[in-house]
Structures are given as structure tokens and as C-alpha cells.
Amino acid sequence: MKKLENKKILLIICGGIAAYKSLELIRLFKKMGASVKTVVTKNAKKFVTNLSIASLSQDKVYSDLFNHENEAEMDHISLSRWADLILIAPITANTISKLSHGLADDLASTLVLASNKQVFLAPAMNVRMWEHDSNKKNVNKLVSYGYRLIGPEIGDMACGEYGEGKMTEPQDIINNILNYFENLRKNKKLKALVTAGPTQEKIDPVRFISNKSSGKQGYEIANSLKNNGIETTLISGPTNLKPISGINLINVNTAEEMLNKCLDCLPVDIAIFTAAVADYKVKNIYEQKIKKRENLNLDLEQNVDILKHISNHNSLRPKLVIGFAAETNNLKKNSIEKLSEKNCDWIISNDVSNPEIGFNSESNKVSIFYKNKIEENLPKMSKSAIANEIVNKIISDFN
């Protein structure tokens, strides 16, 4: 069987000298059995003709956002829903900038913004453009949204300069995509469980004990697991985050409920505990609202440690158990202690005393403690970029 049989590739071609290589890409995709639809930007038309693209793809070329010639024609939504994967090759600095800002002023940018599919980017541009801080920032932003980069490569450029910015060769782009589909196929066999958000422990009918966790990091990890084809259940305490399509979301309030739902989920291959579980609960919850009084002493008892309970499960311990540690001091010492005390495989720690990272912020800066090594101080990244890093590490651990 051809390796890309039944796969639907939406190829977007932007305007650059490397656009000629996209013809070879189409030829290779077709040879491997894929169906290819193409979208060209206004500038791409200056480098490659519709006729050559249509001849190779054996389909029409899409380029205009509003084409009223044929009512039944595929629009930006149906094109992106049709595809299994979107590849933009070459992508220029201009389109990178547009996508990173959510601009939608032509068919290509509109359909990518409206897309629910994995997007691959194969950039091609002059080395100075590629290395410019503004371009780097835009690229990092796209990576943090989950777009995958292929290249660019170092070499002689069409403009006569030398450096990083050459589009990856078509065969290597295809190999990347083959790997992606192969990993999806393998990952489909994997099941993951993620806990996220705070828990709320009732004091009386209107009050509770909780904490400032936003749940963002856990939701991002669940999203990245799902994007990699892993069947994911997210058990979440109360947050303001929207459910993610394709993820089995289970809402809970208390630590006890969270534990029970986790147990219901077993067996899983991977369990990631990002929830900021309240350490204590009220021993006897007041049935009536507590009236104001001079002094109030609440009788608290320790909550069950969900992570520890699951990681010590006799028969159903997940193959990979990952805990998170939120620390304000002695990060390294506490993390190493938690790793062994909670019997988990990895502990991912962050310093929550720094308001720019951790609880409720958009970014995070973590260190990963494994049983036999430490990866200290990964660079500060958006929570979705951290999630992608962690999930890539999980996938390599399983392959």
C-alpha cells in the first residue's frame, strides 16, 4: 500500500522563489497516494502557475476568498475540514507574521485561522529575515499555538547569501509528514489521564477552601496529548477554561471526587497530575451557613494524595506517572523529595513565588526531575509551548 493512501493534504503555497519546489512536493504526495488540494497566495501566483499546480494535483487551485462563480465551491471552512493536515510550503515572513497576529485577509490566512487541523510550516526566506527578532517572536508564537516547523535549512540562498532560511527539500518534508502520521497511528493506542485546576473543599453551603490555580497548564497538556492522537481524559476542578473538543472532560469539585474519577479512568498508559489539589478539607462540613462570631476554628483533615494513591496502585499503575510541584523555595530539594516520596516517574517543578510564571500567568518556566537525571531551568515559554515540550518527551519515552 502507498504510504499516504487515503490521506488528504491541503498545501498552501506562498510567494517566494522556493515556491517552485512545491510542485515537486505535490508530485511526491500524489505518488504516495495522497489527495492534494492547493491554495496559492496572490504573490505565489508570480512564481508558479495555476496550470502546473492543477496538472500535478489533478484538482483546481484555490486562491480567492470570495469566489461567487460557483455557489457549491469549497470555502475556507470546508477546505480546512476536508484536510487531514495543512502544510504551508514555502511560508514567507509575511505570512508567518499574519498568522501569528490572527490576520485573515486572504483565503490562505482565513482558512488557517478557521482550521482545526495540524498545521506544518516550511519557511523559506533570507537569513537576516529569518533571524530577525520580530520574525523569531512570530515563529515562537506559532510554535506555541501548536504549529509544527519543518526547517528551514542552512545553505546557499537564491539571493546569493548563505545561512539559515532555505526551505527543506521536498523529500525531507514528506518524511516529516510520514513520521507524523506514523506517530499518530502509534499514539492512538495510548490513553492518558490529566488532572487540572484547583479543588474546592466545602466549609459550609456558601464557602470553600481553594487556591489560585487557573488550570491552564493542565488544559494545554491535555490539548497537546490529543493533538498527538492520544486518547485523553481531563479531570478538572472548577476553572474558567472552555472544554476542548476531542477531550473527554470530567468536572469535579473536591479532591475526593477527583480521586474517584481518576480511579474510574484506569487503566491508562500516562497519568499527569497538574491539579493544585487542596491539601486539607473540613472534617465536618457545616450544613448551615456559619454565622459571624468572635473566633472560628475549623477542624481540618488532610485530603487524600491523588498522585501518590495512583502511583502506588498495585495492579493498575500507569506506565508513566508525572507529578507537578509548585514551590516557593528550595525547588530542587523539594522536587527530588516529591519524586521519591510520591513514587512518580517525573516531577515537573515551577517556582510559584515568581508572579510572571506559574499560577494564573500565561507563561511558565519549569525544571524536569527524572529518576536518573535533571533537566534544570527550561527556558521561559508559553504554557502551550511547555505542554508541547512535555508531550514530545512523553512520546519519545514511549517509542
Residue 231, classed as helix, strand or coil, is: strand
Q: Which is nearer to ligand CTP, 35 or 200 (CB)?
A: 200
Per DSSP, the three-state class of 346 is strand
Q: Quick one: which of 62, 147, 324, 346 contacts ligand CTP (CB under 6 A)?
A: 324
- Indicate which single residue of 277, 339, 386, 395 sits in contact with ligand CTP (rule: CB under 6 A): 277
Q: Supply 320's cell numbers.
A: 508513566
Nearer to ligand CTP, 15 or 237 (CB): 237
For 282, residues 6+ apart whose C-beta sits below 8 A from its C-beta are 201, 202, 203, 209, 298, 299, 300, 301
The amino acid that residue 223 corresponds to is: N
Binding mask 178-197 for ligand CTP (x = CB under 6 A): -----------------x--
Q: How many residues bind ligand CTP (CB under 6 A)?
A: 15
Applying CB under 6 A, which part among 18-26, 117-125, 130-138, 303-311 lies near ligand CTP? Answer: 303-311
Least gap, CB of 250 to ligand CTP (angstroms): 15
Sign of CA dihedral 144, 147, 151, 152: negative
CA-to-CA separations, 1 to 33, 307, 370, in angstroms, rounded: 9, 44, 41
User: For residues 249 and 14, what is the distance between their CA atoms, to the nearest angstrom?
Assistant: 38
Q: Interface with ligand CTP includes 177 (CB under 6 A)?
A: no
Residue 398 and residue 182: Cα distance in Å, rounded? 13
Q: Which is nearer to ligand CTP, 275 or 394 (CB)?
A: 275
b/e sequence 241-276, b meaning 16+ C-beta within 10 Å: beebeebebbebbbbebbbebbeebeebbbbbbbbb
Q: Does 255 bind ligand CTP (CB under 6 A)?
A: yes
Nearer to ligand CTP, 106 or 201 (CB): 201
Per-residue x/- mask for ligand CTP, residues 81 to 120, rule CB under 6 A? ----------------------------------------
Binding-site ranges for ligand CTP (CB under 6 A): 195, 255, 273, 275, 277, 279, 303, 305-307, 323-326, 338
